[in-house]
With several copies, the nearest count.
Chain A
Amino acid sequence: MFLLDAPVTAKRQVAQGMFVIAMRAPEIAATVRAGQFVNLGWSGGPLLRRPFSVYRADGEDIEVVLKAVGVGTAQLLEMEGGDRVSCLGPLGRGFEIAGSRVLVISGGLGVAPMPLAARDARSAGARVTWVHGARTAAELCSEADGDEIVWATDDGSRGFHGTAVAAATDAGLVLACGPNRMLAAVAERWPDAQVAVETYMGCGTGVCLGCAVPLALGGYDRACKEGPVYRAAAVNWSALPAHLPYVA
């Protein structure tokens, strides 16, 4: 775990309202694993840090992908090259990647942890099929990649007309991230899938117990320590707060 004062190095648009921000955080870039996240703070920002999956890591930089859904994300998107972000991470447990065939399923901003996952899977010699879904073609993240890519849109404006889960065909290892209702559907079909969940977070480091994830066996654990990646069947989906407006 590192606490770095990271300058913003680049910014680009990857879908309607969706942007990637890169920042120089060498120690984090060198150690982050797919599915882990960073907790970001900045002067003039809200009191609490904001957690973001690491989207990509190359060389000295890490990237995060986001949409403006509130105060913090709006401020982050206003940042310019050179502006400094306090970057805490890498945090949480990432994906356990193994096997020869990997199916990646992402809904909307659920694309966030997947470029790293796809990279690791392919460098481990696996064949990656990536199913990416969104409401409309314009909201599809342009940077999904893999040996095979399947697009899905709720309005049918591009690729499969329906959800990413419905568009997916079976595979060995399944990795998924997106709205809770999508992850619940993944859990139905692939109990052993690895899914990355979101909760409100106080600290991101395991000390506040604010990020409780309800477990199928009862009780809660911490999205920021034991999570954010879980075996799909291990989560009590009906008890995990839904309606995260920012997850399109």
Chain B
Amino acid sequence: MTVDMSVAIGDLRLRGPVLAASGTFGYGTEVPLLERRALGGMVSKGIFIRPREGTAPPRIAETPAGMLNAIGLQGPGVEALIRDYAPQWAGWDFPILVNINGESASEYGELAARLDGVPGVAGFEINISCPNVEQGGLYFGNDPRAAAAVTDAVRRRTKLPVWVKLTPMVSDIGVIARAVESVGADALCAINTFVGMSIDLNTYGPRLSFRTGGLSGPAIRPLAVHLAHQAARAVRIPVIGIGGITRAEDALEFLVAGCVAVQVGTATFVNPKAIEEVHDGLVSFLESRGFKTLADLPRYLPRD
């Protein structure tokens, strides 16, 4: 018996529910080890219109069952992405979404317009949740009006799928979720990293040069499952779960909690085959429980 693992997210059909998370899989060209068949899709490293240097080192610090990062969205800018990566993506058998960033709503819009129609670009993940940039980033993420404005600016410039990646740094994620749904987001990605800090007892200051960083990894999973669940209850569009997924069981927590798909991030650093193992583990789990399609998995999604 083979299980049907395909999922539809708006008009986008994925062969599987496990995607590579932005910033943890580069541009998809770096690591040869992973069996691509397991990839439902990939979200590329966050990009701005212009090239960005990123933050000074140290950029990462390990914490219990997690890590802090402050990369500062280092990237070559959109033209280099179109020149160096998109052509390769055009030849791949899974969709690549570009994680787009800007310092103003109109910058997000311009970026989407520039990438719209470029072969290899299947859609957009709007990053309104990066904790590691001075302007923009988080600000757009925890103000419903700003979040909607950014989403709207992108929506007006492209017919491609538009996903919005939410920040956990809000007191009610449902408000932001509904705000971006109302202006035409096709899906929500929950969640980005939590802002954290780690202190170096030799220097009596932060370990990271940026002072704070985004916490990722297994440590945040129970928080991420809750936020993804809250988002899924707040909207009708699909929600993609992200946060601390290392094994199939972890992915299943998000799927049961109401997500249609998941993204795997930090786990890939530890185990370059993590996505493969999560995907294959999902298949065996569904088989062992006698489900024929992923859609048959029972969901816990009380509407109230």
- Chain A residues in contact with chain B, CB under 8 A? 1-3, 41, 46-49, 86, 88, 199-214, 218-220, 225, 239-241, 243, 245
Contact = CB atoms under 8 A, between A and B. Distances in A.
Contact of B57 (A206, A207, A212, A218): A212
Given A207-B30, A240-B57, A48 B67 contact: yes
A202 B269 contact: yes
A3 B58 CA distance: 26
Interface string B202-237: 110000010000000110000000000000000000
Contacts of A1: 31-33
Contacts of B59: 200, 209-212
B99 interface: no
Given A200-B61, A239-B56, A245-B202, A212 B218 contact: no
B269 A203 contact: yes
B172 interface: no
A3 B274 CA distance: 12
B217 A207 contact: no
Contacts of B30: 205-207, 225
B22 to A, nearest CB: 11
Contact of B71 (A199, A206, A208, A241): A208
Pick the most buried of A86, A208, A211: most chain B CB atoms within 10 A of its CB: A208
Interface residues of B, number: 37
10 contacts: A47-B67, A47-B218, A48-B270, A200-B59, A200-B61, A202-B67, A207-B269, A208-B24, A240-B57, A243-B202
B155 to A, nearest CB: 29
Chain B contact residues: over half helix, strand or loop, or mixed?
loop
B161 interface: no
B74 interface: yes
B66 A47 contact: yes
A47 B66 CA distance: 7
Nearest to A212: B57
Contacts, number: 101
B26 A220 contact: no
Contacts of A241: 57-58, 209
B53 interface: yes
Contacts of A201: 60
Nearest to A245: B202
A212 B56 contact: yes
A200 B32 contact: no
Contacts of B67: 47-48, 202
Contacts of A212: 54-57, 59, 74
Contacts of A219: 53
B25 A207 contact: yes
Contacts of A243: 202-203
Interface in B46-79: 53-62, 65-67, 69, 71, 74
A200 B217 CA distance: 17
B116 to A, nearest CB: 26
Contacts of A41: 270-271
Given A202-B67, A203-B269, A207-B31, 16 more contacts: A1-B33, A3-B33, A48-B62, A48-B67, A49-B269, A88-B272, A201-B60, A202-B69, A203-B24, A204-B269, A207-B26, A208-B71, A209-B74, A212-B59, A213-B57, A243-B202
B69 A210 contact: yes
Given A47-B217, A49-B269, A202-B69, A207 B53 contact: no
Contacts of B273: 3
A220 B52 CA distance: 10
B194 to A, nearest CB: 16
Contacts of A2: 33
Contacts of A203: 24, 268-269
A27 to B, nearest CB: 12
A41 B45 CA distance: 25
Nearest to A215: B53
B184 interface: no
B23 interface: yes
B272 A3 contact: yes
